Amino acid sequence: MKRSIAAGVAVGAAVLLAVSACSSSKKGTGGGSASSGGGGAVTLSFVGADYGTGPANSTQKYWEGIASDFKAANPNITVNVQTINWNDFDNKVKTMVQNKQYPDVMEGDYFPDYAQSGLLYSAKDVTSPNTFSNLLSVFAKLNTYNGTQYGMPFTTSARTLFYNKKLFQQAGISSPPQTWDDVKADAAKVKALGKVGFGMPLGSEEAQAEALLWFLGNGGGYQDDNGDWTINSSQNAEALQFMAGMVKDGVTEPNPGTKNRTDLWKQFAQGQIGMINGSPALIPIIQEGGKLQASDWASVPIPGKSGPLDKTLGVCDNVSVFKTDTKKQDAVKKFLDFFYQDKYQVQFDKEYDLLPATNSAIKSLSSDTTFAPFLKALPNSVQYPNAPIWSTVKTQIQQQLGLAMTQDPQKILDNIQQTAKKGS
């Protein structure tokens, strides 16, 4: 899923981290082991999402660094790195798969339909017992198909409500909102200052996340505890009706269905929006904006219909390993064990203001004042569905849910529910 933990804008390019006498992928796997000692050379292809905001912090550099370190420790294994802009990730990976141009290792989205098609190794087949047991178990179900875990969380995030304390003070608001009615009333007061009261991104980037946070606030969601689809539930329809009321009152940005999260986060960072749901990835955008000081904003639990949520959306971007060549399996396992080390987890999370996916890395960051509030929310997080049809359902949500702000929400939810049930 493209859960857009962070939205990159740098277009990745393939970079060959090869040394002399390195053969091609096909030749490199034609016999010999993947060990760092004697034996044949092995070349792995890695495709990952780009979380950077530009060339200076492109994720390409992060993975190139790991590939270089890994090469030094394993001279016979070369890793070719390619990163892809988050906005293009789903489509480009799907095109690769359709053309049978499978990467050996992929970081970004986990597509259950690839597991269903028998294209992926199970997580246990490509990690050591120590690495596998160190992965956050809260995301295990999300990455499981037919009782077997295929996806492995690499980086995670949790959502809270960010609000502009300076605008709240100017509007005479003494405390952050606790309920939907509070949100609407506070948004109206911020609007009176000539600002956007509440940022509601329902565009193609991440409508599925914004919607779910509101659904949860009314006891709804995409599925129930049994895994049955509940997209068209009355709770979800009521949530959309409330959101549409805010749009009609003009306390959100115009036309939320055309607005993406990244763009609205940048507006928040410029002091133009009073409230918006966000993740730790919003923090560097605020810092880079140069308009808000640390004392000018805060984050709190997301308001629900009758009170703050006791759970939130927890998302993770995952590692998947394609069955490209059985002779590469040992090399892949070495590579995964290598990049799941704490130092690379922490490096990634501090670079992109995200959260770790391993128990040991979380422990090492638990005292960090920036990360601690979000780390606390992870154990109670709700994940997206892990059904193979989810990628199709998610795309439909991204394309159609914004229409519910001006059309009948129930009809739109019914259409999406129909798609989900047909694929189940």
Residue range(s) occupied by CATH 3.40.190.10 in the chain: 35-157+315-380, 160-311+389-423
| Residue 360 scores a pLDDT above 70 | yes
Nearest to 3 by CA among 281, 238, 252, 273: 281
Strands (E), 179-303: 196-199, 273-278, 297-300
Q: Please write the tens of the pLDDT for every residue from 180-193.
A: 999 999 999 999 99
pLDDT of residue 21: 28
pLDDT greater than 90 at residue 292: yes
> Does 77 have pLDDT greater than 90?
yes
- The stretch 394-398 carries a mean pLDDT of 97
DSSP 274: E
* Residue 69: pLDDT over 60: yes
Q: Decide: helix, strand or coil at residue 35.
A: coil
pLDDT at site 196: 98
pLDDT computed for residue 54 by the predictor: 84
CATH 3.40.50.2300 correct for 160-311+389-423: no
What integer pLDDT is reported at residue 80 of this predicted model? Answer: 98
Q: Which residues contact 316 (CB under 8 A, 6 or more apart)?
A: 3, 5, 136, 139, 142, 153, 154, 155, 156, 157, 357, 383
Rounded CA separation 297/167 (Å): 9
Task: Write the pLDDT tens digit of every residue in 216-272.
Answer: 999 999 999 899 999 999 999 999 999 999 999 999 999 999 999 999 999 999 999
Q: Measured at the alpha carbon of residue 138, what is the angle toward residues 83 and 96, in degrees to the nearest 5?
A: 25
pLDDT at 317 over 60: yes
Q: Are strands 273-278 and 196-199 parallel, antiparallel or unpaired?
A: parallel
Mean pLDDT value of segment 330-344 = 98
313 phi, psi to nearest 5 deg: -75, 120
Lowest mean per-residue pLDDT among 5-9, 66-70, 403-407:
5-9
pLDDT at res. 11:
30
pLDDT band at 3 (very low <50, low <70, confident <90, very high): very low
Mean pLDDT estimate for the chain: 89
| Per-residue model confidence (pLDDT) at position 39 | 56
Query: Does residue 193 sit in helix, strand or coil?
Result: coil
Please state the rounded mean pLDDT for residues 5-18: 35
Residue percentage of the chain with pLDDT more than 70? 91
Q: What angle do CA 361, 364, 367 make, to 5 degrees?
A: 135
Alpha carbons 171 and 274: distance in angstroms, whole number: 10
**Least confident among 35-49, 154-168, 176-190, 316-330:** 35-49
Q: Which residue has the tokens 């857009």?
A: 4
The pTM for the full model equals 0.71
Give mean pLDDT, residues 146-170.
95
Average pLDDT on 313-323 reads: 93
Q: How far apart are CA 298 and CA 161, in angstroms?
A: 8
DSSP string, 170-232: HTT--S---BHHHHHHHHHHHHTTTSEEEE---STTTHHHHHHHHHHTTT--SB-TTS-B-TT
Give the span between the Cα atoms of 360 and 294, in whole angstroms: 28
* Model confidence at 26: pLDDT above 90: no
pLDDT at 35: 39
Rounded CA-CA distance 46/25 in Å is 12
Cα separation values, 216 from 72, 291, 388, Å:
47, 32, 22
Q: Report the CATH number of the 35-157+315-380 domain.
A: 3.40.190.10
Residues 215 and 404: beta-carbon distance below 8 Å = no
Name the amino acid, one letter, at 347: Q
Contacts of 267 (CB under 8 A, 6+ apart): 196, 199, 253, 273
Residue 4 has pLDDT above 50, yes or no: no
Question: For residue 294, how many other CB atoms are within 10 A of its CB?
Answer: 10
Q: Are residues 50 and 12 in contact, defined by beta-carbon separation less than 8 angstroms?
A: yes
CA nearest neighbour of 257 among 404, 416, 91 = 404
Give, in order, the Cα–Cα distances in Å from 163 to each of 95, 160, 184.
Answer: 39, 10, 13
Distance between CA 241 and CA 267 in Å, rounded?
Answer: 25
SS3 label, residue 18 = coil
What's the CA gap between 269 and 263, in Å, rounded? 10
In this prediction, residues 164-186 reach a mean pLDDT of: 98
Neighbours of 406 (CB within 10 A): 13
Region 34-63: mean pLDDT is: 83
Question: If residue 184 lies in a helix (H) or strand (E), which one and from where to where?
Answer: helix 180-191
